Chains A and B, each alone.
Chain A
Amino acid sequence: GIQVEQSPPDLILQEGANSTLRCNFSDSVNNLQWFHQNPWGQLINLFYIPSGTKQNGRLSATTVATERYSLLYISSSQTTDSGVYFCAVMYGNNRLAFGKGNQVVVIP
């Protein structure tokens, strides 16, 4: 099956810092989504981004489908940004394949 790799696996940020999370995938995909799993376990949709660049507040994402990677940028991080960020790619029969996530901790 398709492989999805996220880096770095763990990240500690000082509040106010910027960061970049990376997602590499091994094959052509139909779409790509970024999620934030908060400390209560809830999965929040951040971006639906099969290609191009999107921005939503302090977050933005870029997917370069031809080179099989996507980047999630967090600017001016806040403690509420803590949690796990998942990249998921859709392939085949509407299946989402998830990476193992980026564990982000923002300290005040």
Chain B
Amino acid sequence: NAGVMQNPRHLVRRRGQEARLRCSPMKGHSHVYWYRQLPEEGLKFMVYLQKENIIDESGMPKERFSAEFPKEGPSILRIQQVVRGDSAAYFCASSPSSGSTEAFFGQGTRLTVV
């Protein structure tokens, strides 16, 4: 049973470009979460999605960031017009259902904005 798969592992973008981060949840999991880890900090919640629905995006910056989890295919975290402050590790997690269930994390995508 493959774990949560994220790609790419590393992504370098110039200021002003777009970054697209992909996440495939574990088999049988329909709930996806995105977290961001800034240097020397813990992880911060960004967004919680189910298939075709955004459940909670209260942790997402108001501008330039968006997320989707389509009926088919991986979840996508999209960052438009990246700035140096967007440089961070972005982790995706999945769980089988809502409520008190264990979340499993992917290996993360390390975004570097130059």
Query: Which residues of A come within 8 Å of B, CB atoms?
Result: 4, 30-31, 33, 35, 41-43, 45, 48, 50, 86, 88, 90, 93-101
Contact = CB atoms under 8 A, between A and B. Distances in A.
Interface string B45-74: 100100000011001000000000000000
B95 interface: yes
Interface string B70-107: 00000000000000000001010101001111111101
A86 B42 contact: yes
Q: At the interface, is chain A mostly helix, strand, loop or mixed?
A: strand
B22 interface: no
B24 to A, nearest CB: 16
Nearest to B31: A94
B25 interface: no
A96 B45 contact: yes
B100 A31 contact: yes
A72 to B, nearest CB: 15
Contact of A98 (B43, B89, B110): B43
Contacts of B33: 94-96
Given A41-B89, A41-B108, A96 B103 contact: yes
B45 A95 contact: yes
A41 B90 CA distance: 11
Given A41-B108, A43-B91, A95 B56 contact: yes
8 contacts: A41-B107, A42-B107, A88-B43, A94-B33, A94-B48, A94-B56, A96-B93, A98-B44
B56 A35 contact: no
